[in-house]
Homo-oligomer: A and B are copies of this chain.
């Protein structure tokens, strides 16, 4: 990488592209861009630049290519895998000014958005048209759609509705040399050329910068409802999940909390949870009122057959939200336990979830660390979360050692080291163990096909 001729020259170059008000090089202004939501990762950017259009993104990338300067695309900075941390310096490309909803089309059932629109802003905007954008990552109030697409974000409703990737029909993307391409569009079926829409989805800003997204919508469901069941342990809760699926139901919500999470949430939010329970299962569905009523009653009937000690049903929206709050506040509740948290997202096939959680618990005990686990019982994606004292170096190291074992356990169980957060910088060292040598080399060749100079988000997602 070329040494820059100085911050002022750089600021002048970039200021000519985006306007001087949208470039920052002052150290104090760069502080928020050194980190994201991941514990223990930081970098030192040379500048942050906030483009307002695809054309400006194109000019910035052409400039960065010409000067061999790394470019780190960033939305809300809510990555839990250090995906937005400038680990090798360079320019942080903050896409938050590009936050317009360009179209909501109720005939084609699509929205066209810039990458800086927040997930919940889009959800609210389409709701006004009687439409529904199903992906619902935990961070939806802050996260941007650009970030959701870049990580193929999951969320609470993956079993019924799939992940973000299933809703990305088209993208406009700027390649590292500044060339702009469009792939896909307002089409449910399009097989012309390799599927770049899906290749770019989940590529974590390492192949191209997404500047416009065409997203699929659905008619808004007329009703939704949620239930909650307590179990003596996670095995019986997992059996109940199998029971739901065996009954022919793929519900919108099937989430679990383990014993530690239940206690943390109750301490934090005083929801009246049963802190003596070994596990809690949230189940819910949406659709026509009749259909929701039917599936909720069927699921409620399945729970006791598998050992549920108590079942509650909520049909009013407010009651439903109160039950879902138990799940939504799991992370803040654990974060409030004092100290720092590291939240992971290992996933396994649904059938192996109890085994994964048993192994997580055993690893935590062996390494003398506290790991609470919650997550998506329906799709097998879990969030083991370590709570620890960030000032205690030995404990930090035990947490890292424990998670390295958790990653190996997930791979052993035909699972993944990351179900929905992405690899980022945080899990890059663990990726080859999952992919194997041949695939790791192939992924690096794909990276070079897009970004031969390696300027886009270096040190993330791919072993280049």
Please indicate the chain B residues that have their CB under 8 angstroms from the CB of A180 in the complex: 438
Residues in A337-358 with C-beta less than 8 Å from chain B: 347-351
> CB distance B130 to A182 under 8 Å?
no
Query: Residue A458 at the B interface, CB < 8 A?
Result: no
A218-232 contact mask (Cβ, 8 Å, vs B): 1 or 0: 111010000000000
> CB distance A446 to B449 under 8 Å?
yes
How far apart sit A105 and B414, CA to CA, in the bound complex (Å)? 14
Query: Residue A294 at the B interface, CB < 8 A?
Result: yes
Query: Residue A134 at the B interface, CB < 8 A?
Result: no
Query: Residue A435 at the B interface, CB < 8 A?
Result: yes
Please indicate the chain B residues that have their CB under 8 angstroms from the CB of A220 in the complex: 248
Please indicate the chain B residues that have their CB under 8 angstroms from the CB of A166 in the complex: 162, 166
> CB distance A420 to B461 under 8 Å?
no
Interface size bracket, A side: 35 or more
With contacts A107-B245, A194-B462 known, is A381 near B189, CB below 8 A?
yes
Please indicate the chain B residues that have their CB under 8 angstroms from the CB of A118 in the complex: none
Residues in A398-432 with C-beta less than 8 Å from chain B: 414-423, 427, 431
Which of A68-76, A196-204, A311-319 is the contact stretch? A196-204
> CB distance B188 to A351 under 8 Å?
no
> CB distance B245 to A219 under 8 Å?
yes
Please indicate the chain B residues that have their CB under 8 angstroms from the CB of A367 in the complex: none
Which of A151-159, A264-272, A275-283, A327-335 is the contact stretch? A151-159
Q: Which of B181, B218, B347 interacts with A189 by CB under 8 Å? A: B347
Please indicate the chain B residues that have their CB under 8 angstroms from the CB of A159 in the complex: 188
How far apart sit A446 and B152, CA to CA, in the bound complex (Å)? 21
Please indicate the chain B residues that have their CB under 8 angstroms from the CB of A380 in the complex: 187-189
> CB distance A195 to B189 under 8 Å?
no
Q: Which of B181, B198, B379, B416 interacts with A442 by CB under 8 Å? A: B181
Please indicate the chain B residues that have their CB under 8 angstroms from the CB of A192 in the complex: 416-418, 423, 427, 431, 434-435
> CB distance A191 to B438 under 8 Å?
no
Please indicate the chain B residues that have their CB under 8 angstroms from the CB of A309 in the complex: none
Residues in A33-67 with C-beta less than 8 Å from chain B: none
Please indicate the chain B residues that have their CB under 8 angstroms from the CB of A105 in the complex: 351
> CB distance B186 to A195 under 8 Å?
no
Query: Residue A185 at the B interface, CB < 8 A?
Result: yes
With contacts A195-B199, A195-B201, A442-B181 known, is A190 near B351, CB below 8 A?
no
Query: Residue A445 at the B interface, CB < 8 A?
Result: yes
Closest B residue to A159 by beta carbon equals B188
Q: Which of B158, B165, B182, B191 interacts with A418 by CB under 8 Å? A: B191
Please indicate the chain B residues that have their CB under 8 angstroms from the CB of A163 in the complex: 188-189
How far apart sit A201 and B414, CA to CA, in the bound complex (Å)? 21
> CB distance A152 to B191 under 8 Å?
yes
> CB distance B187 to A435 under 8 Å?
no
> CB distance A175 to B438 under 8 Å?
yes
> CB distance A449 to B442 under 8 Å?
yes
Instruction: Rank and list the top 4 A-B pairs by shortest CB-CB distance, nearest first.
Output: A198-B198, A219-B248, A189-B419, A186-B349
